[in-house]
Structure 1
Amino acid sequence: MINKLKVIHIHTDYKFINNSNIFIGKYFENSIIIIEHEIPYSGPFREDSTFFKNTKHDINQIIKICKDADLVVLYGLELIKTKIAIRLPKNVKIAWRFFGYELYAKKRNVYLSEKTKQAIKIDYLKTPFKILKVFFRKIKTYFSLFIFSGSPNILFHRANLRINFFLALSNEEYNHLSSFCKLPTFIKLPIRSNNCNEDALRSILPLKHKDKLPIIIVGNSKNEFNNHFDIIDLIEQNINKEKYNFTLLFNYGSEKKYTTVVRQKVIGKKYFKTIEDFMSIEDFKLLYKKTSALVINSYRQMAGANVLEGFKNGVKIYLNEKNVMLQWFKNEGFYIFTIEDFENDLKNNNIFLTQEEAYHNLQQLINCSKKYTIYDFQLLLYNNIKNIE
């Protein structure tokens, strides 16, 4: 009989709590801790979770609970989780479920296009008081952190050195990140092919072609790493732009100067639409059933869930050639396209996958999930933990 390892999952982002389900099986006994926001959590695993607030008292309680675990999984590595990681004893192994922002944000200039950089430049002459106010607030915060526990960058570095496992989607991305940051041992995450259905795909493909204004999703959120401006300008220069519904997903992410300028670029133009309201999982899936193409102009890994949902639903996916995930998907055998392809396809009204391409991508998604299963992931992680005990 296998001796199950006690695993504690720590979440701060409600969207990813369901990710814990890849640990369900014979190797792990799972507990979930949710650090709640002002709005209470009401999604999956709520009844099985323990809730805390982001207070010094509650963080101490979380650390106390985690000291009895074999493995603690941190979903994202923001400041609060770096503090938890640093304070856990060495006998407790730590896995970092990588989301992207943790490392890519440290090299923003590398992953932002020139148009994005220009759009988010701050005009110091127009807002001197606001700039000074923000500057002094940051100085005060960093001084306090440095005196009592170290700056955020120092804490991040210490946490990274303490963490045992780095959970991410691909070797390609891990190797790319390792070129500028020493990372913990890589453990590949499994791709899940839930709800892959060829009959369902067969029924929705003709409807996409019949749509009077086929939907093309641009970006996956308000995040500036989407580099929306390059795609908006590309669309504006295209004579076929009024034949499509270009949809920006602005229902997720924080409001910044960037989002204001993006809205100003598209407002009043009937071929652009922004989705601003919260979207349930069901609505998210329904949108992709109706969508013909997805354009992600990010230079970094992001929108993985959007791309996989696109593969399930016959969506033509366009990624930037600077994005390491483009090569990963190609290596896995998917039909995937570049931003240059998008520009040409828009001119030639060729933004749909062929039936053959759509079925191929669906089958490749199923093949990937069979080639490296949730069971394979669990066994690999379990053995790695046992090997360093």
Structure 2
Amino acid sequence: MKKIIHVHSDNKFIHDSERYTDESFINEIMILDSKNSSNKEYHNKALFYEPIPDNLNKILAVANSADALVIYNLDFFKSQIVNRVDKRVKIIWRFFGTELYSRKPHLYLSTKSKSFFVSRIVKSKVKSTFPFFFHYEKSFYRAIKRSDAITCTFKDEYEHLTRHWNHLPTLIPLASEHHRNYSSKIDFKLDYPKKNIVVIGNSRAFYNNHLDSLELVQRSKHAQKLNIKVLFNYGTENTYTHEVRKRAKLAGVELIDSFIAPNKFIDFYGPVAAFINNSYRQLALGNVFMALHKGVKVYLNSKNPTYQWLEGEGLYIYNMEILENDLKTGQVYLAKSEIEHNLKGLKKLKEGQSKSDFTLQVLELLNE
């Protein structure tokens, strides 16, 4: 049996370690945080260390007992662990997105969004061009080279990343069947027709490029007959979000600011007709799958690798380029036959990327 230590710093994603549940693995959880009310359920199930320099040697002593570390979100402190752990220990990087996308934001922001982040974009370009001048950047890119594998949900995203970043480790695709948003039995008896609800984005994150979507809404007279909402209940507030609030008010669009509990969010997309995500990068994959599972018409930007992947798998996914016309004509609903087609496509997708395939690839890596 192989011992795997899962290194987390965000409680929301600790459940992701369950992907490695198998008789071949001994799994341990390490949380880089102090014990508090938000992680109470793990107080007796995980090792806790605050991510401070004084604890680094203690963490390494534990990490060196493992056959592999799974690093969830490769930040600066975790980069130090990766760079100093014994070379015998395999490193699997659970890619979150922000680690790389935040380093080249100019690739993922629309012209409207870029105008709010000129200084950030300039700084990121300098750091990307001359990373060896910046301690944090040197440590991060060294950790990437040290990593033995990276896990992403789909190959299209990995191929996109390799076009913009060098020295990425080998890909191990994540098992689709584990995805909690459609891992249960697929329900083909959905309520139909849908209500006239249209949801934009998944958070306050500027990668949603909200302003472009809201402009399309403002230009459409028929949109006034729709109940349009923007998911805006988490993320940093800044000048960009203030402008989104302003534009949403002008367009008569509702902002969902309050937290939605996970057990209630499962049913959030039930009455929703369409979900719009204008991101140029992989973002809100959980929302996309949940929406598809609930028979929602999903609009994605064609630059988004998720659009390319799902369209390539044969699902009905719609390009942002047709959104304006669909808003004008009210064609923001899927036909029942299209819903059933997408549900069958999700089932096929689930069967195509199995947990057993994922486990086998991890074992092969650990046995090298």
Provide TM-score, normalisation by structure 2. Answer: 0.90
Q: What is the DSSP-based 3-state SS (H/G/I as helix, E as strand, rest coil) of the residue aligned with 1:307? A: helix
Structure 2 spans left out of the alignment, 5+ residues: 124-131
Quick one: which amino acid aligns to residue 171 of structure 1? K
Deviation at 1:43, TM superposition (A): 7.3
Distance 1:55 1:249 in 2: 34
Across the aligned residues of Structure 1 and Structure 2, the Cα RMSD in angstroms comes to 2.1
Kindly report structure 1 stretches of 4+ aligned residues shifted beyond 6 Å: none
1:172-196 deviation per Cα after TM superposition (whole angstroms, max 9, x unaligned): 1111111121200110011133124
Alignment partner of 2:184 out of 195, 207, 229: 195
Matched, 1:114 2:117: no
Deviation at 1:39, TM superposition (A): 5.7
33 and 152 in structure 1: CA distance in 2 versus 1, 3 angstrom threshold: same
Quick one: which amino acid aligns to residue 187 of structure 2? E
Distance 1:225 1:43 in 2: 32
Quick one: which amino acid aligns to residue 12 of structure 1? S
Deviation at 1:151, TM superposition (A): 1.3
Q: What is the DSSP-based 3-state SS (H/G/I as helix, E as strand, rest coil) of the residue aligned with 2:279? A: coil
Alignment partner of 2:336 out of 355, 360, 367: 355
Quick one: which amino acid aligns to residue 59 of structure 1? L
Quick one: which amino acid aligns to residue 184 of structure 1? P
Deviation at 1:158, TM superposition (A): 0.6
Matched, 1:385 2:335: no
Quick one: which amino acid aligns to residue 195 of structure 1? S
1:272-312 deviation per Cα after TM superposition (whole angstroms, max 9, x unaligned): 11122222211211211122111110111111111111111
Alignment partner of 1:252 out of 227, 234, 238: 234
Alignment partner of 1:169 out of 148, 153, 166: 153
Distance 1:196 1:341 in 2: 32
Tell me the residue number matched to 1:343.
324
Alignment partner of 1:241 out of 223, 230, 236: 223
Alignment partner of 2:19 out of 22, 27, 33: 22
Tell me the residue number matched to 2:272.
291
Distance 1:289 1:347 in 2: 23
Matched, 1:215 2:165: no
* Contact 1:18-1:45 at 8 Å conserved across structures: no
Distance 2:305 2:190 in 1: 33
Distance 1:229 1:222 in 2: 11
Tell me the residue number matched to 2:126.
none
Distance 1:43 1:190 in 2: 28
Instruction: Give the number of aligned pairs.
Output: 352
Within a 5 Å distance, the mapping from 1:115-134 to structure 2 comes to 115-121=112-118
Q: What is the DSSP-based 3-state SS (H/G/I as helix, E as strand, rest coil) of the residue aligned with 1:204? A: coil
Alignment partner of 1:160 out of 144, 153, 160: 144
* Contact 1:17-1:44 at 8 Å conserved across structures: no
Quick check: 7-16 or 251-260, which moved more? 251-260
Deviation at 1:222, TM superposition (A): 0.8
Tell me the residue number matched to 1:78.
75
Q: What is the DSSP-based 3-state SS (H/G/I as helix, E as strand, rest coil) of the residue aligned with 1:29? A: strand
Deviation at 1:268, TM superposition (A): 6.1
Deviation at 1:26, TM superposition (A): 1.9
Tell me the residue number matched to 1:306.
287
1:73-105 deviation per Cα after TM superposition (whole angstroms, max 9, x unaligned): 011111111111111111000111111111111
Tell me the residue number matched to 1:129.
none
Deviation at 1:269, TM superposition (A): 5.0
Distance 2:222 2:41 in 1: 43
Alignment partner of 2:256 out of 257, 264, 275: 275
Q: What is the DSSP-based 3-state SS (H/G/I as helix, E as strand, rest coil) of the residue aligned with 2:348? A: helix
* Contact 1:119-1:261 at 8 Å conserved across structures: no
Alignment partner of 1:185 out of 170, 185, 190: 170
* Contact 2:95-2:150 at 8 Å conserved across structures: yes
Provide TM-score, normalisation by structure 1. Answer: 0.85
Tell me the residue number matched to 1:53.
50
198 and 32 in structure 1: CA distance in 2 versus 1, 3 angstrom threshold: same
Quick check: 247-256 or 183-192, which moved more? 247-256
Deviation at 1:237, TM superposition (A): 0.4
Tell me the residue number matched to 2:311.
330
Alignment partner of 2:191 out of 194, 204, 219: 204
Tell me the residue number matched to 2:356.
375
Q: What is the DSSP-based 3-state SS (H/G/I as helix, E as strand, rest coil) of the residue aligned with 1:160? A: helix
Quick check: 79-88 or 113-122, which moved more? 113-122
Distance 2:31 2:297 in 1: 36
Q: What is the DSSP-based 3-state SS (H/G/I as helix, E as strand, rest coil) of the residue aligned with 1:368? A: helix
Distance 1:223 1:365 in 2: 27
314 and 224 in structure 1: CA distance in 2 versus 1, 3 angstrom threshold: same
